[in-house]
Amino acid sequence: MSETEAPAAPPRQAGIVLFGVPVRFHFTFLILVLFVVLGGLNDKKSAAQEALFLIGLFLSVLLHELAHALTGKAYGVRTIEIIMYPIGGVARLERQPEPRAELRIALAGPLVNIAIAGVILAVQGGPAAVAKLSDRPDSLLLRLAVWNLYLAAFNLVPALPMDGGRALRAFLAMRRGEAAATRIAANMGRVLAVIMGVYGLFHGEVIMALLALLIYMAASHESAASQGKMLTQGIPVRSAMITDFRTLPHGATLREAADLLLATSQQDFPVVNGAQVIGLLDRTSFLRGMAADGPESYVAGVMDRGFLKLDPAADLSEAVPALNEVGACGLVMEEDRLLGMLTVENVSEFLLLRKLGVEPKA
């Protein structure tokens, strides 16, 4: 699919790491495998040939996403992870690149697919191989070339979340601003999804209808993320942080933490030693500790000592991606003094209030 600014962290799954970037697989990636296998069985291709083709197609999609990641790295934009989807995958970037960089990062993926197809066609005989593409090629390599061209063409459609939509947004952002550019590109993505969905439903193409749903959801997310960024830009972290919260002493047990969890609406607790913050007990660490060590174990043994620290004067639009990456909570600290907490939930509430016209506190 494309690269995207980091949304809320998805559930962690097993994967691999390439060039320092974790590569994970979304369950819907199985749709692509099923689609290709069924197509191959209909054409009476051997299981071994289908397996080789799937490996080649997987590597093509992976190289597409790595092209996004490596191009982003060249512009100083880190890739948090690559998630493999049936329509090409997503490289989750830590932040939104500036328009010229986004244009180059977006186009890097499809260009890799075009390059792969070009190399295959050159090896297979040049013009003669190109002429065979109009038929249904039996050659494994020619088939792979065709699919790489499909991937490139589909991803170059000028609609979010495809790479062409990101390129369109980057181009428009240079002239009309990021918010307007995202709105236009996301609307085109929704229109594309509706067309695909209607066609898929009326023609019995279930897989196309599912892909249409994924595209519509992704386009809507892009629009919401852009609006969220606009609502948080220029707002300091201190304006959105929670100031009424409870802490746990480092000598507290998990049983005491459980009592506090039930008595309050809080799910994350700073762990302190006197006035010093030494860790953060989030819900995941709490449950893991309860399962492994029992309720009489100490919070100091399971707390996160590498918790996210946020500057109260930092721009909220820059703090949110960091918060999304850890997926839980950040502590707002001025030097060693704890001022407040920032969570995904309270940021969502903050955005809702801003949409309703409530201005943040100073």
Q: Which residues are catalytic?
A: 65
Instruction: For residue 334, give the 3-state DSSP assignment.
Output: strand
Amino acid, res. 334: E
Our CA angle for 85, 91, 96, nearest 5°, is 135
Number of residues that this document lists for the chain: 362
Contact, 72 vs 97, CB < 8 A? Answer: yes
- Which residue in 341, 359, 141, 166 sits closest to 241, CA to CA? 341
CB atoms within 10 A of CB 331: 20
DSSP 257-292: HHHHHHHSS---EEEEETTEEEEEE-HHHHHHHHHH
Check residue 311 and report its DSSP letter. -
Contact, 240 vs 347, CB < 8 A? Answer: yes
* Alpha helices per DSSP H over 177-315: 178-202, 206-232, 254-263, 283-293
Distances (CA, A) of 123 to 142, 148, 149, 358: 10, 15, 16, 63
Instruction: For residue 90, give the 3-state DSSP assignment.
Output: strand
CB atoms within 10 A of CB 168: 24
DSSP 147-161: HHHHHHHHHTSSSTT
Q: Specify which residues 74 forms β-bridges with.
A: none
Instruction: For residue 28, give the 3-state DSSP assignment.
Output: coil
Amino acid, res. 237: V
Q: Look up residue 78 and give its two tokens.
A: 């880190």
